[in-house]
Amino acid sequence: MTGPAMDLNADVGERPGTDGVAADAEIITAVSSVNVACGFHAGDAETMRAVCELAVIRRKRIGAHVSHLDHEHFGRGRLDVEPDVLRDQIIQQIRALRVTARLAGGEVTYVKPHGTVYHAAAVVAPVAEAVTGAVAAVDASLAVLGPPGSELLEAASARGLRFVAEGFPDRAYLPDGTLMPRSEAGSVLNEEEALTQAVRLAGDGRFRSLCIHSDTPGAVRIAVAIRNHLIGAGFEVRPFN
């Protein structure tokens, strides 16, 4: 009998060229779902195609990692677009990745906001509405990945979209359940702390996916360690249903 299921996801397609894709290949092997950058904060047609092909070969779930148009700040700059514009930008990204994934023999099954949009959608209702409105406009069967107890959860539920709550093993949480800002000391956990937190989050009951930051030094090693630690604790690591 298998134990409770837990997904591991990671952002890919954010680093250009063959070296970037080669680095992504390692993290794709280690996780069960991949969030593919769709060109608005990072990535381009070539990286999208390459990482989708790798995900299909390795039988990993593919998700659209969407952002506002912000190459300059990697999608972490100021969100200075109107909700309707953001909605249209996200629609464009999802549609582009769907075509790319299908050409590679795969399918996009979920959407995860990136950077500023992710954090804004957690607390700002119009941003959450823009994200979920885009998903519903393209394909209401797509899941939405985001933080539990958030505006994004509320907006997804209101539209009848499937919501998948995720946690971050390597990030410290505040008492209210939100992430500690990276600017504060202790906001990023070391590997041992991340292993302990991964099991805690997996057993919390709210989370169905855990995010591994692929650009963290030693990300592949950490991802493998977290996966093995979860398996050792009785969890089955596989894509969320």
Give the confidence band of 17 by pLDDT, cuts at 50, 70, 90. Answer: confident
User: What average pLDDT does this structure show over 13-36?
Assistant: 93
pLDDT at 240 (0 to 100): 94
Q: 64: which DSSP letter? A: E
How many domains are contained in the chain?
A: 1
pLDDT above 90 (res 215): no
- pLDDT band, very low/low/confident/very high, at 99 (cuts 50, 70, 90): very high
Is residue 214's pLDDT more than 90?
Answer: no
Position 163 scores a pLDDT of: 98
**For 48-60, how does the pLDDT look when each residue is reduced to its tens digit (9 = 90+)?**
999 999 999 999 9
Q: How far apart are alpha carbons 48 and 104 in whole angstroms?
A: 10
CA-angle at 134, arms to 120 and 169, nearest 5°:
45
DSSP per-residue letters across 172-207: -B-TTSSBPPTTSTT-B--HHHHHHHHHHHHTTSS-
| Whole-number percent of the chain with pLDDT over 70 | 99
Q: Tell me, what's the pLDDT at 166?
A: 97
Q: Is the pLDDT of residue 1 over 70?
A: no
Parallel, antiparallel, or unpaired for β 61-66 and 236-237? unpaired
pLDDT at 146 over 60: yes
CATH classification of the domain holding 95: 3.20.20.370
Q: Which pLDDT tens digit goes with each residue over 170-198? A: 999 999 888 888 889 999 898 999 999 99
Q: Which residues pair with 33 in a beta bridge?
A: 9, 61
Q: What is the pLDDT of residue 151?
A: 98
Q: Which whole number is the average pLDDT over 109-138?
A: 97
Lowest mean pLDDT among 30-34, 86-90, 150-154, 191-195: 191-195
Mean pLDDT, the chain, rounded, equals 95
pLDDT of residue 177: 85
Q: Is the pLDDT confidence value at 133 over 60?
A: yes
Q: What is the pLDDT of residue 19?
A: 87
What percent of the chain clears pLDDT 90, i.e. is strictly above it? 86
Amino acid 176: pLDDT = 86
Question: What is the domain extent for residue 63?
Answer: 5-237
Residue 2: per-residue pLDDT: 67
What is the pLDDT averaged over residues 88-95? 98
- Residues 6 or more apart whose Cβ sits within 8 Å of residue 55: 12, 28, 34, 36, 61, 62, 104, 106
